[in-house]
Amino acid sequence: MGSQPDTSAVVADFLADAKRLEGRLSWKPKSTRGDYVWTSHLVVVLSGRHRAADLHLTAHLTREPRKYGFTLIWRGAKILRLDVEPGATHFNISTKTSVSGTHWQRWPDDEAEPDLRALDHRGWLTAFCGRANIAFEPDQYKAPPFKTYQYEMPL
């Protein structure tokens, strides 16, 4: 009877394998929160060695600074996440420290790794896809439908 491969090694192998995002981003209102939109897309592994994954994206419509979420789900597990300007801090159990800004989380420990860059939505998607080895074409991108407000100044 053969031995089972280490799960961490399997996830690392999956992340290293070349992948492609399917379809154009198409944002929908989130049913549980009217101030958010979301989209979900299939991520195909080009080698065929691994089953496909899902990429879930969320965006807050009005919050400044902009708040985004990027999650890669494979075999039912959230294996890579990026929280941009989250509304709450993340507590790292192993170091007993808190991370309050933009951060990455990777399976299995979910420890937050801070990222101090200031990017727009496309820039963060590009960074996320680069880390997960996911290719996408420029015409697949569609920015979230952010709402902007014009404030009147009293005279």
90 located within any domain:
no
119 located within any domain:
no
Q: Rounded mean pLDDT of the chain?
A: 93
pLDDT beyond 70 at 103 = yes
47 located within any domain:
no
140 located within any domain:
no
Query: The domain containing residue 71 runs over which residues?
Result: 1-39+57-82
Comparing 72-76, 79-83, 86-90, the range with the smallest average pLDDT is 86-90
pLDDT beyond 80 at 153 = no
132 located within any domain:
no
131 located within any domain:
no
Q: Give me the mean pLDDT over the 130-141 stretch.
A: 97
Q: Which residue has the tokens 């890669």?
A: 72
Give the pair of three-digit tokens for residue 126.
Answer: 């590009």
For 11, 32, 65, 129, the CA distances from 28, given in Å and listed in that order, are 30, 12, 21, 21
27 located within any domain:
yes
Which among 92, 108, 143 has a CA at the least distance from the CA of 122? 143
25 located within any domain:
yes
Give the pair of three-digit tokens for residue 1.
Answer: 């009877």
- For β-strands 53-60 and 19-21, DSSP reports them as unpaired
When pLDDT is cut at 50, 70 and 90, the band that residue 6 belongs to is confident
Task: Tell me how many domains the chain contains.
Answer: 1
Q: List CB contacts of 31: < 8 A, sequence separation 6 or more.
A: none
Residue with more model confidence, 27 or 5: 27
